[in-house]
Amino acid sequence: MSATNIRAQLSDSISAVLSNKIAGRELRWYLSGWRLGIILLVVCIILPFVLDGIDPSLVTTSIAIGTYIILALGLNIVVGYAGLLDLGYVAFFVIGSYTVAVGTYGFLQNAQGKSIPIPSFSGQLFWLLIPLAALLACLFGILLGAPTLRLRGDYLAIVTLGFGEIVPIVFQNVPWFFGQFGMSASPPPDVGPITFSDPLNQYPFYYLTLALVVLVILGVTSLRGSSIGRAWIAIREDETAASVAGVNLVRTKLMAFGLGALVGGIGGALNAAFVSSIAPSDFNFNISITILIMIVLGGLGSIPGVIVGAIVLRFVDVYLLGKINDAVHGLPLVSGSGAPLHFLNNVDFNTAKFLIYGLILMFMILLRPQGLIPDVRRKRELQGIGASAEGASAVGLLEREEAGEDEAGGETTTVGAGSDAQGRED
Amino acid sequence: MPENVLLRLRDVKKVFGGLTAVDGITFDVNQGEIYSVIGPNGAGKTTVFNLITGIYKPDGGEMLFEGQSISGLSPDRVLRRGITRTFQNIRLFNNMTVLENVLVGQHSKIPGNLPSVLLHLPNYQRAERRAEERAVELLSFFGPSLVARKDDYAANLSYAERRRVEIARALGSEPKLLLLDEPTAGMNDAETGEAINYIQRLRSEFGLTILLIEHKLQVTMGISDRIAVLDYGRKIAEGVPAEIQRNEQVIEAYLGRKAAVE
Amino acid sequence: MLTLASVFAANSSSSNIFLQQIENGITLGAMYALVALGYTLVYGIIELINFAHGDIFMWGTVITFIVVQMMGLNHPLSGFALVGVLLLLIIIGMAVSAFLNAGLERVAYRRLRKAPRLAPLIAAIGASFILETIVQLWRGTNFYAFPDIFPHGGFTIFGARVNYLDIFIVVLAVAMMYGLARFINTTKLGRAMRATAQDPEAAALMGVNINRTISITFLIGGALAGAAAVVYNMYIGQVWYLTGFQLGLIAFTAAVLGGIGNIYGAVFGGFLIGLIQSLAIQFIPGGFQWSLAVVFAVLVLILVFRPSGLLGQQVPDKV
């Protein structure tokens, strides 16, 4: 059996179980998904003990992976479901991170550079910061989305990119947040005997991350099969038809944007509590794109795909590249000053990852736009009864389509109340 | 306004750049009628549909539905008033199943508040179940074959089946007025015959009023109560089929020219 | 916008700050306009935001810098040597960027021409990452200072210092734009470009070779970015692998501001953004840190309130 076959079967079985087997039948689907979900959950609960045995740093790596699973699932709502290309998702990550930092640090800086004490969320109040971070990010998502969601897709992409660039600049330049030096955030408080502040014991943090990941997975899974999820996909497929079928475009898009941002805020809060020190320069366009690559790699709109995409990319990033760097630079052929492959000593494989990212984006879009583990919809079409090669299309965002022409105005997209469709379409 | 007028257009205009696509069109559609709009290509028929359903904003005139203005409403608001449509070039959601397509059509009937949906609260689950039952019911309007394919992807259906699914989707919102844009385009004679049959059944079984754009005279002349003829964005004639067939202006402007073209 | 600091610091001796910033803004704007034209040409013809365009520009700066290094130039030139070197650099810069841009179209965008709008955009983002990272791996993350090859000197008018270099930049940019306008409006290829922009299918029916026309559009857009790269090297002078990202976004903003697809709009937008930026730096407290944010704010406001740009789309000029 060829590798492709095995992979196809594997992704088949995973997506068949994890995803909506009979579309629209949420309840039945829920139950069938439960079984595999519980098995995977048990595996994840045991996992740190295994990892600890192999390499203790893998537990920390898992936490870093978990953060990005959350972020990727959040962005997937916006890009994968609703088909809105958000290139500035990092903004919500920043907002979530700074919420926890401001909430726990106890100080802000005034314009004269003096630290001013402020009340902090001390003790068990810390836990309020996670929903607060989510809500604040959601709020900013809605504030950004309200004026911009009427824009055509590619314009929206650039506006969100701008927002993603501006937010870290704001945190750097507004006096309160200690400029480029950033702020530190406290880890969560001890809960009974469980302590989050012991650097040698990462287990509590691992389980906190796992809990948040599970929560987000449950949330997006529930949404995916619901009327809201259907409306998102309808918009992605054909905005005008969705609108005529009764989907309120502005509201539905705002919901995608707001919920995507909300999940990003959760990821940010977890990140701040975990890394404990954040600065504006930690947040840039590369993060937005990294998350986008995770979902393009895994399969736009596919929950298992997005999770696998995040795991693979983040594992390579925080663990594998470092190991490769050390291994290559340690080779006798490389390390000595006169060694034949000495030039490799100057190659930083951590940098090279962006080359890989770029290649992944290009190749996925050109050769496999449906991703490694496609949304089940795509799967079904490939097996579909009488589906021709051209007839079957990948996830709507990247599918090939022949747009039909209306009689007088050509293709039209209406964009909610008060907007002039013509002006934007010309 | 007489009580039985459902949709009233008064002097409706639409201009694209320098081109006047709809130049002051006026007509009434009565409750329970099958009213057809015919005219040569580019006469502005689909533009009229786009104006009524809120895809375009009119540049002048008024549109009243049940006596209330629908000018400038977004398509989903128009739908909530009770108007929906199909498209000339069928616009199904190809990456959704037949059932899901029809469920999207019932979007306005399912509670949309986030907590209910996210937590699958009982009111939401009830609405979903009802919507599914209703969807199957609507599909069975076209016989058992479509019901059997409810879990197939819309992209995999035949042309005639896609037309039917699009109508089932439109019916999901329980409209009062259904706009059909060339519902028999691309169909052979047998399929056209079936379409004529179910368009009439739509009126009798669902109590719908139907506004129809159609090229095939076999269809329009056969089932319309009244017909309006458009040319260059204007209404040049209106009347019962027999009148339209006799109308010199229509024969000259529409039938004559069409014959010349073909 | 770290790199702009050097330029504006050099002019701090002028006595009329406002006029001085106008002068700086015009010079900067000429450079932006050249890059903005590349965005607008490509968008006009295939409705793609060529996200990698800024990095195409950056490659022009890097290659011409290497050429200058190899020639061992490190002091201002004059006479024939100056003319010769400038000509050589401009030709090399234009060629590098032009062929990279056209190559990208050939390898990636062409295959995605029938794909939905966002697919080529994502491919372009991938290309941008690839182009940046190659330079990063090859040259590192350091800034390299481009040697001072243009003669110093200039004159003062109404209290504003005008360097000869500034005049050279503006004249070069305006000459290129004039050439472009002539090309598009009077040549057969230009007509093919306009036809393809309006309706590719109709153009193809009329015998226009669509693939060739699109390739030429990418060549021209790239060439203008290459010329801008030489200008950038002499004016800003800091060669860096991420230059293209920021400058590209600014230039894209300029194109949108003028009305994307409209070549006069791109020129107008370029100068306007140059002026906005140089005045913001001077007159907004802490303007330096905020200057990029100001540019983005302009972009967002324009897109939200007037998405067709200030000049809108005059169809006859749309390419």
Lowest mean pLDDT among A188-197, B26-35, C179-188: A188-197
Which chain C residues are closer than 8 Å to A415 by Cβ? none
Query: Smallest CA–CA separation between A131 and chain B, in Å?
Result: 15
Task: Determine what percent of chain A is predicted with pLDDT higher than 90.
Answer: 42
Q: Model confidence over A267-317: pLDDT tens digits?
A: 999 999 999 889 998 898 889 999 999 999 999 999 999 999 999 999 988
Q: Please count the residue pairs, one from chain A and one from chain B, whose beta carbons lie less than 8 angstroms apart.
A: 189
Beta bridge partner(s), residue A62:
none
How does pLDDT run across B184-232, given as a tens digit for each residue? Answer: 988 888 989 999 999 999 999 999 999 999 888 888 888 999 999 998 8
How many other CB atoms are found less than 10 A from the CB of residue A93? 33
Residue of chain B with shortest Cα separation from A22: B151
Interface test with A, best of B73, B107, B109 (most A CBs within 10 A): B107
CATH code for the domain in which residue A143 is found: 1.10.3470
A183 forms beta bridges with A278
Separation in Å, CA of B36 to nearest CA in chain A: 17
pLDDT score for C295: 81
Query: Of all helices (H) and strands (E), which one includes residue C155?
Result: strand C154-157
Q: Nearest-CA distance from C165 to chain A in Å?
A: 32
Give C-chain residues touching A162 at CB under 8 angstroms. 249, 296, 299-300
How far apart are the CA of A15 and the nearest CA of chain C, in angstroms? 24
Extents of the domains making up chain B: 1-82+175-262, 97-173
Instruction: Give chain C positions within 8 Å (CB) of A367.
Output: none
pLDDT at position A371? 86
CB atoms within 10 A of CB B113: 11
Helix axes C118-139, A285-298, angle to 10 degrees: 120
Half-sphere exposure of A340 (CA within 13 A, CB side): 1
CB contact under 8 Å between B93 and A238, yes or no, is yes
Nearby residues of C273 by Cβ (< 8 Å), 6 or more positions away: C29, C32, C250, C251, C253, C254, C257, C295, C298
Q: Using one digit for the tens of pLDDT, what is the confidence trace for A351-402?
A: 888 888 899 889 988 988 888 888 765 444 444 333 333 333 334 455 444 3
Q: Are strands B19-30 and B209-213 parallel, antiparallel or unpaired?
A: unpaired
| Residue C13 pLDDT | 57
CB contact under 8 A, C125 and A361: yes
| Torsional class of B237: left (φ above 0), alpha (ψ -120 to 50), beta (otherwise) | beta
Cβ–Cβ < 8 Å for A414, A421 = yes
What pLDDT shows up at residue A133?
Answer: 97
Range of lowest pLDDT (A213-222, B60-69, C9-18): C9-18
pLDDT tens figures, C85-113: 999 999 999 999 999 999 999 999 999 98
Domain around A257: 55-382
Which residue in this structure is represented by tokens 């005219």? B39
Asked if B96 and A234 come within 8 Å (Cβ–Cβ), the reply is yes
Q: How confident is the model at residue B246 (pLDDT cuts 50, 70, 90)?
A: confident
Is residue B258 predicted with pLDDT exceeding 70? Answer: no
Region C52-70: mean pLDDT is 95
Closest partner residue to A381 (CB to CB) among B155, B169, B173 is B155
- C58-to-A22, C96, C231 alpha-carbon distances in Å: 50, 10, 12
Question: According to the model, what pLDDT value does residue C8 have?
Answer: 57
The domain tally of chain A equals 1
- ipTM score of complex: 0.91
Specify the CATH number of the domain B1-82+175-262.
3.40.50.300
Angstrom distance (rounded) from CA B28 to CA B63: 10
Of A159, A289, A426, the CB nearest to C308: A426
Residue C316 has a pLDDT of: 32
Question: What are A43-100's pLDDT values in tens digits?
Answer: 999 999 999 999 989 999 999 999 999 999 999 999 999 999 999 999 999 999 999 9
Chain C CB contacts of A426 below 8 Å: 308, 313
Residues linked to residue B83 through DSSP beta bridges, in sequence order:
B177
Task: Residue C299: give its domain's CATH number.
Answer: 1.10.3470
Size of interface A-C (CB pairs under 8 A): 142
Q: In this structure, what token pair is assigned to residue C280?
A: 């913001």
Residue showing tokens 């030039």:
A343
pLDDT at position A387, please? 34
User: Contact, B89 vs B163, CB < 8 A?
Assistant: no
- C244: which chain A residues are within 8 Å (Cβ-Cβ)? none
Residue numbers in A near C289 (CB within 8 A): 169, 172-173
Please state the rounded mean pLDDT for residues C124-139. Answer: 92
- How many beta carbons lie within 10 A of that of residue B77, not counting itself? 18
- Among the partner-chain residues A227, A230, A392, the one whose CB lies closest to the CB of B155 is A392
Out of C47, C118, C299, the one facing A162 most closely (by C-beta) is: C299
Whether A23 has a pLDDT exceeding 50, the answer reads no
Contact C273, C156 (CB under 8 A): no
- As a whole number of angstroms, the distance between CA B244 and CA B228 comes to 8
Q: Please tell me the total count of domains within chain C.
A: 1
Stretch B135-144: mean pLDDT = 92
